[in-house]
Structure 1
Amino acid sequence: MIDYLGLEADLGEEERMVRDTAREFVESEVRPDVGTHWLDGTFPTDLIPQMGELGFYAPTIEEYDLPGISETAYGLLMQELEAGDSGVRSMASVQGALVMYPIHAYGSEAQKERWLPSLGRGERVGCFGLTEPEHGSDPASMETSAERDGDGYVLNGSKTWITNAPISDLALVWARDRSADGDPVRGFLVETDRDGVTTNEIDEKLSLRASITGEIALQNVRVPEGSVLPGVEGMKGPLSCLTQARYGIAWGTVGAARNCFETARAYATDREQFGRPVAGFQLQQEKLAEMATQITTGQLLAHRLADLKERGDLRPEQVSMAKRHNARMAREQSRVAREMLGGNGITADYPPMRHLTNMETVYTYEGTHDIHSLVLGHDLTGISAFE
């Protein structure tokens, strides 16, 4: 595997074990069938409990039977999963960073004890309800509402482009509390089998096909007071979750790009044209050299984020830079890899085209490329383009 600057030579024993376990899992359980799932537009749901058994969900948490691994180990896990497919990494990211993380960070002890162990084992599936049909990049304008009713709340609204929604047991829904001054945003843990909840699947996607995406419709859904996350109020809640998920994406996209590079290099050294391997031509060597350089830059960003995160110095804007750069890098390098495979590159027998289409989604979700540009612009100039 490409590691041109030898970054993984400095890994600790735990980090190597996590990397190798995830790599073996992808090789044996993901890679053989993921092309078929991508063609069929299905997610390999049999992997959900397997990933739970291996401790792939929110593994940086130490309590509730969770392993408590390092931030670098977690990043390596995301990298290996996305080398298999973005849909597999997305499943783990949503379950861990967008559902289990906020329950652990902002939930009550009762909420933690009820949900974290079963989510961690993959016995239950969670989803994260933030994006709405009319509010994507501007989630603060959400219309989903919560009205106090006796000893609980009534929720109304809709969410869309929600990973895992059709197979989820629990939805973390962000809504405006219309009963409180200022209509603050609050998080609600909503069981998807409650009356008034529907989670229809979005089909005919042309990207991230080996992933289940859906909607959450809430029509007079009653939830008890104990469903509210008590430890956070306002946009800090959902945005802090997104920072966790974007950290995983910054690592994961490197894995997808790396898989494209390894596929292109192997193909170019084996494929002969005009009496010599394709890799012997200068044009192809230039492509491989540029791919290796761009992937290495992405690796450096990811490893630096891990160092900052481990010591508590990581800022959301730094995560924005890495997500922005690495998603664009993987998008571009998967295209080059597809190109190097010629006609074979457009088939599901080889991963670059699958990664290429997946990256169109990764480039857009968890904050579009343009939004992250504006986040960085604000940080660099002190002037907000959103106001």
Structure 2
Amino acid sequence: MFSGTNKKYMLPPKHKDTKVHKKMNKIQNDYKIGLIGCGKMGINLFNYLTGFSFKIIFVCKSSESVEKIMRSFKRKTDRTLKLKLISKKEYDLKLSNTVITQSLSDLNQCDMVIESITEDRHLKTELYTKLDTILPANCIIATNSSSISPRELIINKNRSGKILGLHFFYPVSITNLVEINSLKITEKATIDFVKRFLQKINKFYLLLPEESDFLINKLFLKLQAGCCILHQNYDMSFLEIDTLIKKRLFPIGIFEFFDHVGIDVMLYSVNNYINDLPDKEFYKPLVEELENLVLQGKLGVKTKEGFYNYKNTEPKNEKINNSINAEKIMNMIYSWYLEPVFEIVEKGICTREEIEHIIEEYMNAHQSPFNIFD
């Protein structure tokens, strides 16, 4: 069995141990875990990991960020003590185990560093060049990037076996899903350490080979592109498309999802994903729609406007235009959604159970894609 947040799933008899964590030896609690990046994901990851007994060194880019996060962490920890959720001994240990700093040099004794800075290849390689002179030789470097291969971040070939992708999904405390994006040159000891770490923090994971990296985001890419084709070629509004999606597939619409992730983040990731695809033209409408909004500075919920306007209310469902053949449209949507799902299972990259777990955690959808037509 593999365990998740308040959930348990029975694995099929022939399930491969390399993909989903099993019972393993407990990771040492005195390991030092470094975190870099104090954006939304970095802070979210920090808040989650401080719920465990690791030594955490959190590096922020400004003194203002350090002070703000320190105050928030202290306030939260004080509250847990006041509510008697932890003992005074645990309280003291948590404070002594947590360092919030502006200096990368404070990472010089870490066993693993998780980087979650801005999704920018140039900024990441600059950071990794600095880390190469600071981190001990046996330190693992894990990037939380959602679209940049860890191979592109190798600065020192002597460290190549210690670098991999560790892709968490927001919000970390709720979404029980992590991708381990490994390379052909990633050392077994590196992967074993990361597996134990994820087991300790109660996370379901997929161990993905290099050729299947970022599988979870790519799983929905064809559906996302198809929805943009519906908008451009079938004269359907974003709200009409999302209304169909929410009635038949997921509790959140495709364009609503884009707005919550961030239009700029989506554009950067999509461009990386489609770079080597043979049917690149199919994804052109998706890129066009995202580029158009980025040029206007409409980046989604964070700017109060994206595909929808969030200044007053959240988008609501809309009646479908009578001239639209809803069943024909849904058949197209099902095709774009299910084709990649079945392809991944047929290739043996994931099991049906893993796919069902991914879709439930990622899109909060409780209907199995394998039962849509039942």
- TM-score in terms of structure 2 length: 0.25
Higher relative contact order (CA closer than 8 Å, sequence separation 6+): 1
- Using structure 1 for the length normalisation, give the TM-score: 0.24
Larger relative helix fraction: 1
